[in-house]
Amino acid sequence: MRRQAGLLLREKDATMNTVKPDAAALKAERERDKAQAMREYEAEKRAWQANLLRLRALRLARESTLVEATPARRPVAKKAPIRKPSPARMRSARRTAS
């Protein structure tokens, strides 16, 4: 076995050499992958938040123009509900009337 530039060379046959990265090289590669994944995640999050803010601003602008454009309505007076007399009241009203 020979070490060469972060790689461990194993000689199985005279015709075939296999190359296996050593632990330090694997760890460095994982760290690079981790950093790249984090950069992509944060960029995606920033883009999502920017889109959210843009859409919120559009919605608020649309709502403010709708509020300004609609005339103020007068409140409609509610009618008093029609109350039916209860059966007990009807009986007592008949007794007093006769």
Q: Which helix (H) or strand (E) holds 95?
A: helix 87-97
**Domain limits, the chain:** 2-69
Give the β-pairing of 17-21 and 2-4: unpaired
Q: How far is CA 76 from CA 68, 73, 80, 83, in A?
A: 21, 9, 12, 21
Going from the first residue of the chain to its last (98 residues), give the mean pLDDT of each consecutive group of 10, the final group possibly shorter: 56 59 91 98 98 97 85 76 74 65
Cα–Cα distance between 21 and 6 in angstroms, integer?
7
pLDDT at 86 (0 to 100):
75
The answer to whether the beta carbons of residues 56 and 37 sit under 8 Å apart is: no
pLDDT at 46 (0 to 100):
98
pLDDT at 87 (0 to 100):
74
Q: How far is CA 73 from CA 25, 76, 77, in A?
A: 73, 9, 12
pLDDT at 13 (0 to 100):
53
